[in-house]
Amino acid sequence: MGGCRMNQGIKKTFIAGVFWGVLEKFSVLFVGFFITILLARKLTPADYGLVNMLYIFTLLANVILDAGFGQALIQKKTVTDQDTSTVFYFNVVFSLFLYGLLYALAPYIAQFYRQPLLTDIARVSFLMIPVNSLCIIQHVLLTKNLKVKELTIVSVSASFVSGVVGVFLAYTGHGVWALVFQGLTLQVVRAMILWTVGGWTPRWVFQLESIRSIWNFSLNILGVGFLSAIFQNIYTVIIGRFYNVNEVGFYNQAQRLESVASMAITSSIQRVSFPAFAALQDNKERLREAFKKIMDLTMYVHLPVMIGVIAVAHDLFLLLLGEKWLPSVPYFELLCIASAMYPLHMINVSVLKGVGLGKLYFRLEAVKRGLIVAFIFLTVRYSIYILLVGYVIATVSSTFLNMYCCGKAVEYKLIDQLKDLLPTLGCNLLMYCSIQLFHLCAFSPMYRLSLDIVGGILIYVLASYFLRVKPFFHLLNIILKRC
């Protein structure tokens, strides 16, 4: 009975976390939607290209500071003030070292890309690293305790303020610096609010034993995070080095909009699924049941979003960003195909981390990165489009490998996972075919896009109802209970 109550408590906390997480993502999406339109219509692809050439360096630094120890503190059952304070001071000192190193390397980074302006841009942009180190622990503790409401306040407020700053600078003629200071403002505002709502301040204590106690787990997670950061941005580096700065802008705008679509739901679930799976790590049966339900529900919501934006990509870019961004459309479609598989990867990985299989997680990620490198070498000589086709093949292959290995660990086989997803896949196929038929109507892009969205949603819901798709009725039940 006690175990059942605990399971119900985890379920309620998880659903509440997902609710606030989705609210956060859609609020940020709403703000970012207008900010992106305003900035993209004023700035050039080259402006976006310059800023995104540097993103890999900032991300790697933040991974070193956050991914390892931060994830380890979430996974650790009992966390003391000594642990959090020690990690806080370590992060702050190390972030200053990293900033100094990157400041010195800025001219060489500019030389690598053959873009002299990058030296000054880099030295300002890299200030985000020490700023971020000041609020990592607050973010970790809120995540560990599933305080998604507070995290929602942080994200929405920071996105709004930084967006206003970016738009103001763009429309007063500051060009690429609008994007630079938008990013820096985001981190500053985020840090200020996390210190206000986080409910934690560091004590004057530093013990190496706290570092040692989480070192083994954090090292594996750090390794995966480091690899992920490199390979999430390796295409930006390659395109910037072997093609030109405008193509970097087109690719990154496609990546930016793809991320908005793909992460609106899945990042909310990712944030709460790891702590939820960690809480169930001692009961394999309940863990497997939670795994199955979360995967079914996530894919049911996520997949139609990705399939839908692929179907309407041309009109979407034309209406939102303007004709100058249409070269981004083919890249966007390929990235969305890869991201359609993301929840399967993300949930399987959350299970592996939740049960403490950090080494297996690292090995699987290493295999995925190896596939990406192989396809890069095979395709880079042809075109950016062929380069991204290779990325799609590598991503899909590695996702199936993750599903196979995780399925063995929790006794939920790959073939069973795929069978459970077949009804959702069928509904998405019907929706996609319907939207393609709508395209035959000789309407203006605005009317055609409206018809695609409304008609696509209607077809998806009706197909789900008549095919008796389980996640549809589960989601409907949750909504009705809240009403």
Q: What is the pLDDT of residues 408-429, one digit of tens each?
A: 777 778 888 888 889 989 999 9
Of 13-22, 65-74, 283-292, the poorest mean pLDDT is in 13-22
Residue 22 has a pLDDT of 63
DSSP classification of residue 76? S
Residue 482 has a pLDDT of 65
pTM equals: 0.76
Average pLDDT over residues 13-42: 72
Would you call 207 helix, strand, or coil by DSSP?
A: coil
Structure tokens that stand for 234 in this block: 């390796």
Residue 28 has a pLDDT of 72
Residue 117 has a pLDDT of 92
Of 91-105, 142-156, 217-231, the poorest mean pLDDT is in 217-231
Residue 6 has a pLDDT of 45
Q: Which runs of consecutive H residues, i.e. helices, occur in 280-383?
A: 284-311, 313-320, 329-339, 342-354, 358-379
pLDDT tens per residue across span 111-134: 999 999 999 999 999 999 999 989
What value does the mean pLDDT of the chain take?
82
Would you call 182 helix, strand, or coil by DSSP?
A: helix
Reported as type and span, the H/E element at residue 211 is helix 208-242
pLDDT tens per residue across span 196-239: 887 888 888 887 777 777 777 777 777 777 777 887 788 898 99
- pLDDT > 70: percent of the chain: 86
Of 19-33, 152-166, 299-313, 353-367, the poorest mean pLDDT is in 19-33
- pLDDT > 90: percent of the chain: 30
Q: Which residue has the higher pLDDT, 149 or 451?
A: 451
Give yes or no for residue 68 having a pLDDT over 80: no
Helix pair 2-42, 148-171: axis angle to 10 deg: 0
Burial state string for 435-473 with b = 16 or more CB within 10 A and e = fewer than 16: beebeeeeeeeeebbebbbeebeebbbebbeeeebbbbe
Contact between 226 and 66 under an 8 Å Cβ cutoff? The reply is no
